[in-house]
Amino acid sequence: MRAFLAVEPSAELKRAIASSVAEQLRGTSGYRAVPEPQLHVTLRFWAALAAERVDDVVRALTPICAAHQPFCVDVAGALSTFGPRRSNVLWLALDDVDAKLAALAHDVDAALAAIGIAREERPFRPHITVARARGRGR
């Protein structure tokens, strides 16, 4: 199954982002905004997580998530993409001022590795996906 682990931003931040993105996308038809309730910071994504591993993941991550306190991040700039080949996703970079988000992502990765789930190969890039391309067009 497709699954992800994420940090949910505050309602205030989600509201501000949704409003700003709606304004920036006004008049364009190529992208649709991610609905405000769905805005999040992905810590880990699985294209295919075996259903029988879900309980293992929850058990491994519960103490990790409980050990981390709420933290602040700043929105770091304008809309961006993951490059010309992956311009179907627009995102906002986050400035992890105190590196607390990166520490959480690291601890999650280590806990998952301890139960036999491969570490994430790509470097952690804190961001919030805010819009996706309509259809297959870029």
| pLDDT tens by residue, 38-50 | 999 999 988 889 9
Q: Are strands 41-46 and 3-7 parallel, antiparallel or unpaired?
A: antiparallel
pLDDT value, residue 97? 85
pLDDT reading at 54 higher than 50: yes
- Residue 8 reports pLDDT greater than 70: yes
The H or E element that residue 37 is part of is none
Confidence category of residue 70, pLDDT binned at 50, 70, 90: confident
CA distance 132 to 138: 9
Q: How confident is the model at residue 85 (pLDDT cuts 50, 70, 90)?
A: low
- Strand boundaries in 18-126, DSSP class E: 31-33, 41-46, 74-80, 89-95
pTM of the model: 0.85
Q: Give Cβ neighbours of residue 7 (< 8 Å, ≥ 6 apart).
A: 40, 41, 43, 101, 104
Cα–Cα distance, 114 to 126 (Å, whole number)? 23
